[in-house]
Amino acid sequence: MDLTGKKIAILATNGFEQAELEVPQKRLKQAGATVDVVSLAVGEIKGWDQEDWGRPVKVDKTLDEASAADYDAIVLPGGQINPDLLRVEPKALKFIKDIFDAKKVVAAVCHAPWLLIETGIAKGRKMTSFRSIKTDVANAGAKWEDAEVVVDQSIITSRNPGDLEAFCAKIVEEVKEGRHTQRSAA
């Protein structure tokens, strides 16, 4: 599907799971979207590649420069470190919540559903996540499912890097559909 003219933010900081940023970035660009890596500060952020530090990725915009109004979707890579650092950053949580409130696509993989919990987005939704945070997701009021990709009114979640192809395909499909004006509050 063609995403020409669509803009997607990937919100991350140091410690993102390498594949969970790079694979969606590549797939969404291949589909024609403009993809910005948005982070806390200028420069580069460093990934975590399975068992050790990975490659740096260039930051395109800081949270101070980015506006939810400029994007059609947000992608939240996991890893343990990245979402844990972001969930204590008010600007990061506001950016995610603003995109959600505008009824745009929100996609989170692995440990990134922690960010959906922190923003209140998880409550009342069907979701999946990395298995170690299943209890966190359920305790936040979401209905956890063990599936490679779960969608609930354009809230897309996946479990781990093994699910990235299905995750990326669903992001493309949901962004192509556009805003979900019928999205209900949980």
> Residues with catalytic annotation?
110-111
HSE value, Cβ hemisphere, 13 Å, CA-based, for 146: 3
Contact between residue 149 and residue 158 where contact means Cβ atoms under 8 Å apart: yes
CA 44, CA 14: separation in Å to the nearest integer? 9
List C-alpha distances in Å: 48 to 19, 79, 81, 90.
9, 7, 8, 23
